[in-house]
C-alpha cells in the first residue's frame, strides 16, 4: 500500500538511493535536507516536497511533518565522515544528537507518524574480529560512533515515551553512485577515472563489509513492512568482508588493466579497525531480504559515471 514517507537526509548518498527505491514502489515522498553534504538534484522529489531546512530547527521540522502528514519517517540526516567528525566534534554532536531529538520530538507530536526508522552505524561496535551480531557489546571508538550511539538511545527513549515503533538500522559500509564523502571506493573511482593507474591510498589491510546502496534501500523498505512493536535494532550489511586490495582487484577486473598501489602517509588513519563484518541473520529472518549487488557489478557502474564534487565543507 502506498504511504506518505518523509526522509531526512534524502539528498544524500544513501537517502537518495532510498528515495528512488521508495518512489519506484509508488510511495509519496518528502525530503528534509540542508544540502550541507547532499545535492538537491539527488533527492527524487518535486520542489514542493523538498525542504531545505536544518534538522536542529525543531519548529521547521514540525511544520513539514504537520503539512505533509507522513505515516513513516526515516531519519538519515547526520554528519558522518569520520575525519570531519573528529575535526568538528561539537558540530557532529549537535547535528547527530540535538538534531535527532528535534526530529523525534516532531514525530512524537504528530498523530500521522506511526513509526520511525533511525540510521545508525557499525561504528557503535568496538573493534572486533568475525561477524558482529546486534547483541554484541557496544563500544564506539570515535566521536562519530559516540554520537550515533546517543542517536540509538534517543530512538529507544522515543519508543518508550510514545509507544510508536522505532527501527534502528546499523549501516555497515555503503557503496554505489553519488557518494557524497571521500571514502575509499569513490576515491579509487576518482583516481581511476582521472586516468591514474598508480593509486595513492591509506591503510591497505583493513577489511570492510561493503553493501550497495540499492541493497540498503531495499533492506530499509523491507523493515518498514516488518512488524516491529518496540524499538528493534538491525544490522544492514552485505555479510562479506573486503580488504582495500580486494576492492582494487575488483576495479582491475572491470577495467581489464592492472593497478599499482602507493601508500600515501597523509591518508593513513592512526586508529583503524582491521575488521568490520555484519552478521545480517536477524535482518534476513525478519524480512526475507537478500542482497543482490556484487562488488564487481557495483564497481562496473562506478566506472561509467563521474563521482560527485565533495562538499565545500570538506575542503
Ligand X SMILES: NC(=O)c1ccc[n+]([C@@H]2O[C@H](COP(=O)([O-])OP(=O)(O)OC[C@H]3O[C@@H](n4cnc5c(N)ncnc54)[C@H](O)[C@@H]3O)[C@@H](O)[C@H]2O)c1
- Give the binding site for ligand X (CB under 6 A): 9, 11-15, 33-38, 54-56, 76-80, 95, 99, 119, 121, 171, 173-174, 180-181
In this complex, which beta carbon is closest to ligand X, that of residue 77 or of residue 199?
A: 77
Phi and psi, residue 131, nearest 5°: -65, 140
Q: Which three cell numbers stand for residue 102?
A: 528535534
In this complex, which beta carbon is closest to ligand X, that of residue 58 or of residue 165?
A: 58
In this complex, which beta carbon is closest to ligand X, that of residue 95 or of residue 110?
A: 95
The minimum distance between CB 54 and ligand X, in angstroms, equals: 4
Q: Which three cell numbers stand for residue 128?
A: 572486533
The minimum distance between CB 206 and ligand X, in angstroms, equals: 14
How far is it between the farthest Cα atoms of the chain? 57
In this complex, which beta carbon is closest to ligand X, that of residue 126 or of residue 163?
A: 126
In this complex, which beta carbon is closest to ligand X, that of residue 56 or of residue 238?
A: 56
Contact 234, 134 (CB under 8 A): yes
The minimum distance between CB 260 and ligand X, in angstroms, equals: 26
The minimum distance between CB 183 and ligand X, in angstroms, equals: 7
Contact 168, 1 (CB under 8 A): no
Which residue from 167, 179, 151 is spatially nearest to 225, judged by alpha carbons? Answer: 167
Rounded CA-CA distance 56/310 in Å is 23
In this complex, which beta carbon is closest to ligand X, that of residue 60 or of residue 255?
A: 60
The minimum distance between CB 32 and ligand X, in angstroms, equals: 6
DSSP string, 194-222: TT-SEEEES-SS-EE-EEEHHHHHHHHHH
Q: Which residues contact 145 (CB under 8 A, 6 or more apart)?
A: 121, 123, 124
Q: For cell 563521474, what's the residue?
A: 306
In this complex, which beta carbon is closest to ligand X, that of residue 79 or of residue 154?
A: 79
Number of neighbouring beta carbons within 10 Å of residue 301: 14
Rounded CA-CA distance 286/309 in Å is 38
The minimum distance between CB 57 and ligand X, in angstroms, equals: 8
Rounded CA-CA distance 211/289 in Å is 13
CA atoms 12, 15, 21, 22: torsion sign: negative
The minimum distance between CB 219 and ligand X, in angstroms, equals: 12
Amino acid at each position: 500500500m502506498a504511504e506518505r514517507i518523509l526522509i531526512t537526509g534524502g539528498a544524500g548518498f544513501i537517502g537518495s538511493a532510498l528515495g528512488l527505491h521508495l518512489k519506484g514502489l509508488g510511495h509519496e515522498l518528502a525530503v528534509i535536507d540542508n544540502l550541507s553534504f547532499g545535492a538537491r538534484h539527488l533527492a527524487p522529489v518535486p520542489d514542493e516536497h523538498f525542504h531545505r531546512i536544518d534538522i536542529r530547527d525543531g519548529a521547521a521540522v514540525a511544520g513539514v511533518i504537520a503539512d505533509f502528514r507522513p505515516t513513516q519517517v526515516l531519519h538519515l540526516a547526520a554528519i558522518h565522515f569520520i575525519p570531519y567528525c573528529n575535526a568538528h566534534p561539537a558540530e557532529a554532536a549537535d547535528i547527530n544528537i540535538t538534531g535527532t531529538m528535534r526530529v523525534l520530538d516532531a514525530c512524537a507530536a504528530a498523530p500521522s507518524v506511526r513509526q520511525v526508522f533511525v540510521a545508525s552505524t557499525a561504528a557503535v561496535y568496538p573493534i572486533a574480529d568475525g561477524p558482529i551480531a546486534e547483541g554484541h557489546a557496544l563500544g564506539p571508538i570515535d566521536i562519530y560512533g559516540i554520537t550515533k550511539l546517543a542517536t540509538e538511545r534517543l530512538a529507544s527513549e522515543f519508543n518508550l515515551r510514545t509507544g510508536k515503533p522505532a527501527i534502528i538500522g546499523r549501516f555497515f559500509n555503503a557503496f554505489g553512485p553519488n557518494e557524497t564523502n571521500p571514502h575509499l571506493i569513490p576515491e579509487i573511482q576518482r583516481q581511476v577515472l582521472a586516468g591514474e593507474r598508480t593509486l595513492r591510498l591509506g591503510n591497505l589491510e583493513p577489511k570492510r563489509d561493503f553493501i550497495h546502496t540499492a541493497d540498503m534501500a531495499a533492506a530499509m523498505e523491507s523493515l518498514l513492512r516488518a512488524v516491529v512493536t518496540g524499538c528493534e535494532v538491525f544490522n544492514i550489511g552485505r555479510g562479506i568482508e573486503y580488504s582495500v586490495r580486494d576492492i582494487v582487484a575488483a576495479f582491475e577486473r572491470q577495467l581489464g588493466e592492472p593497478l599499482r598501489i602507493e601508500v600515501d602517509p597523509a591518508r593513513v588513519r592512526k586508529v583503524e579497525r582491521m575488521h568490520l563484518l555484519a552478521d545480517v541473520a536477524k535482518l534476513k529472518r525478519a524480512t526475507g531480504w537478500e542482497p543482490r549487488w556484487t562488488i564487481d557489478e557495483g564497481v562496473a557502474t562506478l566506472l561509467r559515471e563521474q563521482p560527485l564534487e565533495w562538499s565545500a565543507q570538506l575542503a
